[in-house]
Structure 1
């Protein structure tokens, strides 16, 4: 983090702020869906991710995209120790 940037912990995010992630562009060769979900997973608290994923699902973007190596997003998350609530959120949305 840049020294001129103040780290904010526990900030309440507005819907508009959460939706900003939907405008992200992916690096060359990476799935836009994968890039957006990865950034949301890495930057949002679980409760904010749950709100985000509802907006994300409305866009029609893929809920379980592949990375450049062909690995599915949920498969990658399943290897993360604290990812269970995020996985459950994604599975709940994909059932709808």
Structure 2
């Protein structure tokens, strides 16, 4: 049996695709801003994430929003081995 789709690596993200993450909503009642940031981090390369954070801040969203466990996206990213570049983006955007 053949797979329907191949995994796409190094996909080119348009500005509209990046902006579409501003419409991502949680299904578990958690904080929308936290959910958006986490999903963007999990899905985007650093350059795309930086663009997203600019759009996120332009909508005056909470860069320090906390998730269900009381952690910010910055705190989660800081524990990841390859998260330093993403953490720098959040710091530059005002994350604490």
Gaps of 5+ in 2: none
Across the two proteins, how many residue pairs are aligned to each other? 93
Give the structure 2 partner of residue 65 of structure 1. Answer: 65
Q: Which runs of 5+ in 1 are unaligned?
A: none
Please, what TM-score do these two structures have when normalized by structure 2? 0.88
- After the TM superposition, list the runs of 4 or more consecutive aligned residues in structure 1 that deviate by more than 3 angstroms: none
Q: CA deviation at 1:72?
A: 2.0
Deviation at 1:59, TM superposition (A): 1.1
Q: Distance in 2 between matches of 1:64 and 1:77?
A: 12
Q: Paired residue for 1:88?
A: 88
State the shift of 1:28 in Å: 2.6
The SS at the match of 1:77 is helix
**How far did residue 81 of structure 1 move?**
0.7
Quote the RMSD (CA, aligned, Å).
Answer: 1.4
Distance 1:19 1:47 in 2: 13
Instruction: Name 2:15's counterpart in structure 1.
Output: 15
